[in-house]
Amino acid sequence: MSGNSFGQAFRVTTAGESHGPGNVVVIDGCPAGIPLTVEDLLVDLGRRKPGQSHIVTQRNEADEPEILAGVFEGETTGTSIAILVRNQDQKSRDYDAIKDKYRPGHADFTFDQKYGRRDYRGGGRSSARETVARVAAGVVAKKVLERGFGGRVVGYVKQVGDIVAQVDDPSAVTLAQVEKLPDGGPNIVRCPDHACVPRMIELIETLRKDQDSIGGVSELVATGVPAGLGEPVFDKLKADLAKALFSLPAVLGVEYGVGFGCATLRGSENNDAFFAEGAGAARRVQTRTNRHGGMLGGISSGMPIVLRAAIKPTSSLPREQETVTTSSEPTTIRTRGRHDPCLLPRFVPMGEAMVALVLADHWLRWCAQKYAFPR
Ligand SMILES: Cc1cc2nc3c(=O)[nH]c(=O)nc-3n(C[C@H](O)[C@H](O)[C@H](O)COP(=O)(O)O)c2cc1C
């Protein structure tokens, strides 16, 4: 009822807040025999980590996960997996001065309306800190996809403010391209169009100096996904992916394929023509274009799944903003503490994790149906 669990066959449950002792995830339904170590988890946790570059928050969390259950001799056992990531660098005193004020753009007001109380230190359960647990679960889900059908999920920054990356073939973008620049240096914005990177960094730095923040768009691509994942009505793959992405903080829009662009297209322009390639059992139906974003009727078509999430500019600003107190008196607020001037670079592994969780869940559900009465 309270929405702390997600998925059916591959089910994750998280608990934890930004300024509590830590965040934990329990993963239920992961098949046995998948190699899993702390080092595996560290890769995506490192991509999500605060303090990873000068354009993200300077909060300094080690984010070292502890695998508490479900792994024996380096492999999953098939029983529930529990992973704990302790919080380390909370500066709760940063929040003392604003505990009786509602931060614009945050969940302070709505939490008070819902629960009549809240942990005012850094957003509590609504903080992006909570996503550390999901990113850990996403690593396990990515392994299920890779092992199950050679599937892969890669996300990247498509847009910061009005700077839009040119990505001709989203399915060809590699993790290396997202993480590294051609000279081997870190790609701190995670934009695969390297020509855009310096301009994006400059914009983020300018906004930070101006005591402001900026939004953008992240594109998320799943490749190798077989046709047939997803249920035809309420649990459409597109519906579950939308819920997964909208469940992340700061996501204000989700689209797939041609997305909102479909509004101005004619049917003849929008349809993707089918064709078949190969012979015998290897004959495969594909589409010439992928405006449908890899899903038809909410079921995967076998073409790459291409989604985009619009991320709002960070709400916490050091500049003065108008607000009210918890007793409805007008006041102003400056949010001190350490905040990302642009959420996009750290959003990427979070978006990937949520896409991987949905695909792992639907793949296991598909296996359950397919192998019960094989044809
Ligand atoms: C990667 C990431 C980091 C975030 N860090 C901050 C932050 O430093 N300061 C802030 O004001 N909001 C931050 N947020 C956004 C807030 O958590 C979010 O806007 C807030 O909880 C309200 O939820 P909503 O935007 O989904 O309505 C972050 C979001 C993401 C995805």
Q: Stretch 116-123: mean pLDDT, rounded?
A: 84
Note the pLDDT of residue 96: 79
Note the pLDDT of residue 89: 67
Q: Does some domain include residue 144? A: yes
Give bridge partners of residue 307 from the DSSP assignment. Answer: 220, 256
Torsion angle in degrees (nearest 10) through CA of 344, 106, 4, 38: 40
Angstrom distance (rounded) from CA 204 to CA 216: 11
Q: Which of 114-123, 271-280, 366-375 has the lowest mean pLDDT?
A: 366-375
Q: Stretch 150-174: mean pLDDT, rounded?
A: 98
Of 117 and 219, more confident:
219
Cα of 283 from ligand 1 centre, angstroms = 46
Q: Does some domain include residue 167? A: yes
Confidence of residue 210 (pLDDT cuts 50, 70, 90): very high
Angstrom distance (rounded) from CA 345 to CA 204: 11
Note the pLDDT of residue 322: 96
Of 186 and 339, more confident:
186
Q: Which of 32-46, 188-202, 330-344 has the lowest mean pLDDT?
A: 330-344
Among residues of the chain, what percentage have pLDDT more than 70?
97
Which residues, judged by CB distance below 6 Å to any ligand atom, belong to the binding site of ligand 1?
A: 57, 105-107, 123, 126-128, 248-250, 312, 314-316, 339-340, 343, 346-347, 350
Confidence of residue 124 (pLDDT cuts 50, 70, 90): confident
Note the pLDDT of residue 91: 65
pLDDT at residue 98 greater than cutoff 90: no
Cα of 171 from ligand 1 centre, angstroms = 28
Q: Residue 347 CA: which ligand 1 atom is closest?
A: 1
Cα of 270 from ligand 1 centre, angstroms = 35
Helix residue ranges, H only, 191-336:
197-209, 237-246, 267-270
Cα of 240 from ligand 1 centre, angstroms = 22
Cα of 163 from ligand 1 centre, angstroms = 21
pLDDT at residue 337 greater than cutoff 70: no
Q: Does some domain include residue 135? A: yes
- Specify the CATH number for the domain of residue 186: 3.60.150.10
Q: Exposed, middle or buried by CB within 10 Å (0-12, 13-18, 19+), for 370?
A: exposed
Q: Residue 123 CA: which ligand 1 atom is closest?
A: 21
pLDDT at residue 374 greater than cutoff 90: no
Note the pLDDT of residue 38: 98
- CA count, 13 A, side-chain hemisphere, 120: 18
Domain count, the chain: 1
Work out the mean pLDDT of the chain and round it to a whole number: 94
Q: Stretch 11-37: mean pLDDT, rounded?
A: 96
pLDDT tens for 183-200 read 999 999 999 999 999 999
Q: Does some domain include residue 32? A: no
Note the pLDDT of residue 92: 64
Q: What number of residues does the chain have?
A: 375
User: 156: Cβ–Cβ under 8 A, 6 or more apart, which residues?
Assistant: 165, 167, 173, 177, 178, 190, 191, 192, 218, 219, 348
Q: Which structural domain, as residue segments, surrounds residue 92?
A: 88-257+292-372
Which of 91, 106, 220 maximizes ligand 1 atoms within 8 Å of its Cβ, making it the mutation to test the pocket? 106
pLDDT at residue 28 greater than cutoff 90: yes
Cα of 278 from ligand 1 centre, angstroms = 47
Which of 339, 342, 344, 350 maximizes ligand 1 atoms within 8 Å of its Cβ, making it the mutation to test the pocket? 339
Assign 3-class secondary structure to 97-137. HHCCECCCCCCHHHHHHHHCCCCCCCCHHHCHHHHHHHHHH
Q: Does some domain include residue 279? A: no
Confidence of residue 51 (pLDDT cuts 50, 70, 90): confident
Q: Does some domain include residue 40? A: no
Q: Residue 14: phi, psi to the nearest 5? A: -115, 155
Q: Which of 96-105, 280-289, 330-339 has the lowest mean pLDDT?
A: 330-339
Q: Stretch 91-104: mean pLDDT, rounded?
A: 82
Angstrom distance (rounded) from CA 44 to CA 40: 8
Q: Does some domain include residue 56? A: no
Q: Residue 94: phi, psi to the nearest 5? A: -55, -25
Asked if residues 67 and 57 have their Cβ atoms less than 8 Å apart, the reply is: no
Q: Which of 51-65, 153-167, 322-336 has the lowest mean pLDDT?
A: 51-65
Q: Does some domain include residue 61? A: no
Cα of 363 from ligand 1 centre, angstroms = 30
